[in-house]
Amino acid sequence: MHRKTLMKGLMLFVFASLGLSLLTASAVACDHPKTAIQARQGILKTFTGTTSPLAAQLANGGIPVAPGKITAAATMTGLWHVKDYYQGDLIDEYFDTWHSDGNELFIDATNPAADNVCQGIWVPAGSLTFKLKHMSWYFDDSGNVLGYVVFQDLVTLAGDGNSWHGSENVYVYDMDGNLQGEYLGDELHATRITVDF
């Protein structure tokens, strides 16, 4: 019996250590070494299933959704294929998940070794209109943190719920919170990804 308890304790320790390692790795995963370089060039790379009627209502800007009537058109939640344009040029492309709890996560088309995962938060801003605030750290080529970037998106869901478009403003700050640069007017275009096989 003592051995079983000891083994359970050891397993919990290993899993807790593994979880902490993964959490630390996740924090490092938001390292965007190219951000500062792109900011200096004036082209900033963007980082980026409703389960209940309440979640659908919140995701739809407060418009009531009848139980059993939850459709793609009723919610912003789900998986999206997003293209980000700056001054007419495609500068990023990513898979973006908007969760019903107001969190957002995306993985962009850059090499994972160069960091391609980040997250944000969102709220309804009116009927079929939503605000997304996305934040990320940025680093120099040696891996030293230089500051953080704030992305502010305002997007509108199409009436059929299968696409959205919007604008994005990007603000770059140093570690003391001093504004280092701003890049306004990115255009975002997204299409819903569905389970269609």
Domain CATH code at residue 102:
2.40.128.120
| Alpha-carbon distance values, 61 to 99, 109, 123 (Å) | 14, 30, 8
Condensed to tens digits (0 to 9), the pLDDT of residues 38-57 reads 443 333 333 333 334 444 44
Q: Does any domain span residue 71?
A: yes
Q: Does any domain span residue 25?
A: no
Instruction: Average the pLDDT over 144-157 and give the result.
Output: 92
Domains of the chain: total: 1
Query: Taking 50 as the threshold, does the pLDDT of residue 190 lie above it?
Result: yes
The residue type at 166: G
Question: So what's the pLDDT on residue 114?
Answer: 58
Question: So what's the pLDDT on residue 189?
Answer: 98
**What are the b/e assignments for 5-15, b being 16+ CB within 10 Å?**
eeeeeeeeeee
pLDDT band at 107 (very low <50, low <70, confident <90, very high): confident
Q: Does any domain span residue 183?
A: yes
Domain that holds residue 49: 31-193
Q: Does any domain span residue 64?
A: yes
Sorted by sequence, the CB contacts under 8 Å of residue 139 that are 6+ apart come out as: 31, 32, 33, 35, 36, 145, 146
Q: Does any domain span residue 6?
A: no
Mean pLDDT of the chain: 72
Entry pTM = 0.63
Closest residue by Cα to residue 26 from 127, 116, 91, 111 = 116
pLDDT band at 77 (very low <50, low <70, confident <90, very high): very high
Range ranked top by mean pLDDT from 72-76, 110-114, 148-152: 148-152
